Amino acid sequence: MKFTFLPKPKDEPIAALEAEGHQHVALEDNPDMILFGGGPGDFPDQLPDSVKVVQIQYAGVENLQDVFAKHAANGVRFANAGGLYDDTVAESTLALLLAVEHRMKAVDREWNNTQLFKEKQYLFDNKKLAIIGAGGIGKTLIRFLEPFGMEITAVNRSGNPVEGADHTVTLSDDVWANHDYFVLIAPLTEETRHMVNAETIGKMPDSAVVVNVGRGPLVDTQALTQALADGHLRGAGLDVTEPEPLPADHDLWGLDNCVITPHVANIPRFMERRIGGLAAKNWELYAAGEKMATEVDVDAGY
C-alpha cells in the first residue's frame, strides 16, 4: 500500500506504516491511502483516482462534512481516530472534575481555607454522574472513576448497556434533573448542538457541575456563563469552548468556579504516536473487504 501524510508529514506515523511494509509517497504519486491531520481548508480539492481510504488523525470530524460529501461520492472511504485516545481524554476529564470540586481556581494569595471548607466537594460523597455520549472514552472514564464509588449513568442513543455503568439510558429530562455531574463526550451533530442550554441547565440541580471534553458547541456558552455567575450551577470544567479559542476578555476566564484548559485533553504527541498503527489496521480491514475499525458513517458525520 502506498500512502501520503497531509498537510504536514509526521515522522512517527510514517515510520509505523513503513514498518508494516507500506510505502510513503507524495500525493502526485498515486497513494492508496491518505493520513490527514489538518482542517477542511487543508484537504486537497482533487484526489488521485488511486485514493481509496482517508485516515483522519482526530476522533471528532464534524468540520469535514463537505469533504466527506464530495469525495465519498467518488468511492473514497473515511476513518477517524475514534477510541484511539480514550485513556488520555478520560484522565483529562477526571483532572477537570477534581479541579472543579476541589476548588483549585478559588485558591488565592490569601489563606482562604475557611472559604474552601464550605465550598470544596469530594467525588466519593454519594455523588451521581451522567456521561452524555458514553462511547469508548466514557467506558474508560467509568473505569477511572470506579475507586470513587459514584453512581454512574451512561447516556447513549440506543440505551444498550454500557459496561461498568450502574444504568444506561437515552437522554431525557430525568437525566438532567437527577445527577450531580454531567460529562459531555457526545459527537457534535445538529441534534447535540447546544444540548446544554438555558432550558436544560434549568432542569439541573443548582449544585450540578458540567464538564465538556467533547466539542465546544455542545454547550451554549452564554447560558453556561450566566448560570455559573448566578449560582445556578456550582461549577464547570471545559477543555473545549464556543468560540474556540475563547477570547481573552471572555467572562468565563474570571469565574473561579470554571476551570478551562485549551483543548489539550489529548495532545499531538499521542496522536502521532498512535495514528500509524490504527491506519495500518484500517487498511488491512479495507483490503480484506471489511468495514474499517473506525470507519466514519458519512451520513451521520461520525
CA dist list (Å): 66 to 48, 61, 63, 185, 199 = 18, 11, 8, 23, 31
Q: Name the active-site residue from 167, 263, 272, 284.
A: 263
Give catalytic status of residue 215 as yes or no: yes
Q: Name the active-site residue from 103, 215, 234, 274.
A: 215
Give catalytic status of residue 263 as yes or no: yes
Give catalytic status of residue 12 as yes or no: no
SS (H, E, C) the chain: CEEEEECCCCHHHHHHHHHCCCEECCHHHCCCEEEECCCHHHCCCCCCCCCCEEEECCCCCHHHHHHHHHHHCCCCEEECCCCCCHHHHHHHHHHHHHHHHCCHHHCCCCCCHHHHHHHCCCCCCCCEEEEECCCHHHHHHHHHHHHHCCEEEEECCCCCCCCCCCEEECCCHHHHHCCCEEEECCCCCCCCCCCECHHHHHHCCCCCEEEECCCHHHECHHHHHHHHHHCCCCEEEECCCCCCCCCCCCHHHHCCCEEECCCCCCCHHHHHHHHHHHHHHHHHHHHCCCCCCCECCCCCCC
Strand order across the 151-155 sheet: 167-169, 151-155, 128-132, 181-184, 209-212, 235-238, 258-260
Q: Name the active-site residue from 119, 244, 272, 284.
A: 244
Active site residues: 215, 244, 263
